[in-house]
Structure 1
Amino acid sequence: MESFTQSSVISTVILLGGLLVAGFLIYQIVKSFITLAAVVVTVLLLYAGYLYFTGQRVPFTREEIEKHGEEKIAPLKDEGGRMMEKYLREKAAEKNPIKK
């Protein structure tokens, strides 16, 4: 009988310790998600403020956001493509010099 009570007390202590560790881990995960959400909201508010103070229209619908993003990203893609082509041509010229 004594071994049963002793093992049940030990099991209870281990269970409580496990629950305490699990609770702490869940708390830390939720805390990190809340922090991440706060950072994302802050960045979005700063971006909206930037657009407002520079006189640009703040996009509200998904289509407007996608269009605004495409307008800003398209020049970067074009310039990046030109730079990549130039780099590849230079590297190809280094490897295969044309002899006359």
Structure 2
Amino acid sequence: MAFSKHHLYQPTDQIIAGYAHAFGHAARVIIIKQLVVMGPSTVQSMAVYHPIHKESLSDHIKILRHYDLVEWRESYPYTIYSAHLENIKKACKFLVDYIEVIRPIG
């Protein structure tokens, strides 16, 4: 297995790539939308709206947690997730600013 060269890129480019990855699957986009619209939710309550298994949904939430786009708290036996609105806005700003830079003029 080769070693990652990710760290050799500019920090801003790494951040943009991370956020693009976080938003890079329809399930994760819907999870964020659900948490913003419906408020704090469990995997069980969100799973009703997804055509994937709860385990897969949990994996997608784990990615969103990694990028700090969702917050969580334990309420035994459940984990309750909520949208981290400040970080979602920050992620969107990074992505929009990037698109503005690469968008062709004309």
Higher helix share: 1
Same fold (TM over 0.5): no
More strand by share: 2
TM-score, scaled relative to structure 2: 0.23
- Structure ranking higher on relative contact order (CA contacts 8 Å, 6+ apart): 2
